[in-house]
Amino acid sequence: MGKYIDFAYIKTNANFPAVLGHYNIETQGDGDEVRCNCPFHDDETPSLSVNTDKKVFTCHADSCGEKGNILDFVNLMEGECGLREAAECLAEISQIPCAKPKPAGNNRRQGKSGKKANRKNGSAYSQTGQKKGFKQGKKSVNPEAEAAVKAAFEDGEPLFDDDDDEPDDSLKPLSFQLTLDPNHQYGKQRKLSASAIGRFEMGYCTRGLMSHRWCVPIHDQHGDLVAYVGRFAADPVPAAKAKYKLPKNFKKNRVLFNLNRIAGYADDVVVVEGVFDAIRLHELGIPVVALFGSSVSDEQIEMLTQYFDCVHVMLDGGANKARRKLVDRLAQAVAVRSVVLPDGDDPESVDEEFLREKLPEFVA
Ligand SMILES: [Zn+2]
Alpha carbon of 74 to ligand 1 centroid (Å)? 14
Is the model's pLDDT at 199 over the cut of 90? yes
Alpha carbon of 73 to ligand 1 centroid (Å)? 11
Alpha carbon of 53 to ligand 1 centroid (Å)? 20
* Displacement of CA 260 from its chain's centroid (Å): 9
Residue 66: count of CB within 10 angstroms of its CB: 17
CB within 8 A of 191, min separation 6: which ones? none
Alpha carbon of 55 to ligand 1 centroid (Å)? 17
| Predicted pLDDT of residue 250 | 86
| Predicted pLDDT of residue 174 | 87
Q: Per DSSP, which regions of the chain are E strands? A: 33-36, 48-51, 56-59, 67-69, 203-205, 213-219, 225-232, 244-245, 268-272, 288-290, 310-313, 335-338
User: What whole-number distance in Å separates Cα of residue 22 and Cα of residue 208?
Assistant: 54
Alpha carbon of 21 to ligand 1 centroid (Å)? 18
- Segment 268-286 shows an average pLDDT of 96
Alpha carbon of 71 to ligand 1 centroid (Å)? 16
Query: pLDDT averaged over the chain?
Result: 82
Alpha carbon of 46 to ligand 1 centroid (Å)? 9
Alpha carbon of 47 to ligand 1 centroid (Å)? 6
- Segment 171-177 shows an average pLDDT of 84
Helix 83-94 and helix 70-77, axial crossing angle in degrees, nearest 10: 100
| Predicted pLDDT of residue 203 | 97
Alpha carbon of 17 to ligand 1 centroid (Å)? 18
Alpha carbon of 96 to ligand 1 centroid (Å)? 28
Please write the tens of the pLDDT for every residue from 135-172. Answer: 333 334 455 556 655 665 555 444 444 444 444 555 78
Alpha carbon of 13 to ligand 1 centroid (Å)? 25
The CA dihedral of 181, 182, 187, 193, to the nearest 10 degrees, is 180
Alpha carbon of 61 to ligand 1 centroid (Å)? 6
| Predicted pLDDT of residue 83 | 80
- Segment 240-253 shows an average pLDDT of 89
Alpha carbon of 25 to ligand 1 centroid (Å)? 13
Alpha carbon of 90 to ligand 1 centroid (Å)? 20
| DSSP-assigned letters across all residues of 84-124 | HHHHHHHHHHHT--SSPPPPSSS-TTTTT-HHHHHHHTTSS
Topology (CATH level 3) of domain 7-94: DNA Primase; Chain A (3.90.580)
| Predicted pLDDT of residue 173 | 87
Is the model's pLDDT at 226 over the cut of 50? yes
Alpha carbon of 258 to ligand 1 centroid (Å)? 41
Is the model's pLDDT at 122 over the cut of 70? no
Alpha carbon of 349 to ligand 1 centroid (Å)? 36
- Segment 272-293 shows an average pLDDT of 96
Alpha carbon of 67 to ligand 1 centroid (Å)? 8
Please write the tens of the pLDDT for every residue from 37-77. Answer: 999 999 989 999 999 999 999 999 999 999 999 999 999 99
Q: CATH 3.40.1360.10 region(s) of the chain?
A: 259-358
The larger pLDDT score, comparing residue 99 to residue 211, is at 211
Q: Which CATH number fits domain 133-252: 3.40.50, 1.10.3470, 3.90.980, 2.30.30?
A: 3.90.980
Alpha carbon of 95 to ligand 1 centroid (Å)? 27
Alpha carbon of 225 to ligand 1 centroid (Å)? 50
Q: Is 241 helix (H, G, I), strand (E, B) or coil?
A: coil
- Segment 267-281 shows an average pLDDT of 96
The larger pLDDT score, comparing residue 104 to residue 260, is at 260
CATH class of 259-358: alpha beta
Q: CATH 3.90.580.10 region(s) of the chain?
A: 7-94
Q: What is the pTM of this model?
A: 0.59
User: What whole-number distance in Å separates Cα of residue 217 and Cα of residue 212?
Assistant: 16
- The letter for the amino acid at 152 is A
| Predicted pLDDT of residue 211 | 93
Please write the tens of the pLDDT for every residue from 325-358. Answer: 999 999 999 999 999 999 999 999 999 999 999 9
Alpha carbon of 64 to ligand 1 centroid (Å)? 4
Are the C-beta atoms of 309 and 267 separated by less than 8 Å?
A: yes
Alpha carbon of 19 to ligand 1 centroid (Å)? 17
In this prediction, residue 260 has a pLDDT band, given cuts at 50, 70 and 90, of very high
Alpha carbon of 89 to ligand 1 centroid (Å)? 22
DSSP 261: H
| Predicted pLDDT of residue 303 | 93
Alpha carbon of 112 to ligand 1 centroid (Å)? 46
Is the model's pLDDT at 128 over the cut of 50? no
Alpha carbon of 59 to ligand 1 centroid (Å)? 5
Is the model's pLDDT at 106 over the cut of 70? no
Alpha carbon of 66 to ligand 1 centroid (Å)? 6
In this prediction, residue 113 has a pLDDT band, given cuts at 50, 70 and 90, of very low
Tell me the CB-side half-sphere exposure of residue 152, using CA atoms within 13 A: 14
| Predicted pLDDT of residue 4 | 76
